[in-house]
Amino acid sequence: MKTYQEITITPINNVDSRAVKTGAWRTWRPVLIPEKCIHCYKCWKVCPDVAISVESPEEKSLPVWDYDYCKGCGLCAFECPKDAIEMQREVDQ
């Protein structure tokens, strides 16, 4: 137990939110159809959850979803100009 002299005056948040796996919120899972992808990276650009990463755009790498954090909002699938992202219903594990 810390005394009042030892604790900071205001609480400080210093743990990165990656500790919170918001992927558990998801009902619909975005799945990429690689043949249709034209590497425009619009999905990466729109993702509000920073759950899509692009390794190297110069070498036309495919966008990668981090399903630990993807909340399944469907923005990527909606914005995709080639309909290369399919929203699939999550099945109970």
Partner 1 sequence: MAKLTIPKEEIMSPGHMGCQGCGATMAMRYALKALGKKTMISVPACCWAIIPGAWPNTCMQIPMQYTAFEVTGASISGIRAALDSQGMQDVNVVGWAGDGGTVDIGIQALSGMIERGHNVIYICYDNEAYMNTGIQRSGSTPYGAWTTTTPVGTTEYWEEGQKKNLMEIVVAHRLPYAATASVAYPEDFIKKLNKCLEIPGPKFFQVYAPCPTGWKSSPELSMDLARKAVTTRAFPIYEVEHGKYKINRKPEKTPLSEYLMLQGRFKHLPEKEVEFLDAHYEKEWKALLKLEEMTQDESLGNFM
Note whether 21 binds partner 1 by CB under 8 A: yes
Among residues 1, 3, 6, 58, the one that binds partner 1 under rule CB under 8 A? 58
72 in Cβ contact with 29 (< 8 Å): yes
Nearest distance from C-beta of residue 5 to partner 1, angstroms = 20
Exactly one of 7, 25, 36, 90 binds partner 1 (CB under 8 A); which one? 25
50 lies in the site for partner 1, by CB under 8 A:
yes
Nearer of residues 33 and 62 to partner 1, judged by Cβ: 62
What are all long-range contacts of 73-78, with beta carbons under 8 Å and residues at least 24 apart?
73/48, 73/49, 74/28, 74/30, 75/46, 75/47, 75/48, 76/30, 76/42, 76/43, 76/46, 76/47, 76/52, 77/30, 77/43
Query: Of 2, 4, 6, 12, which one interacts with partner 1 (CB under 8 A)?
Result: 12
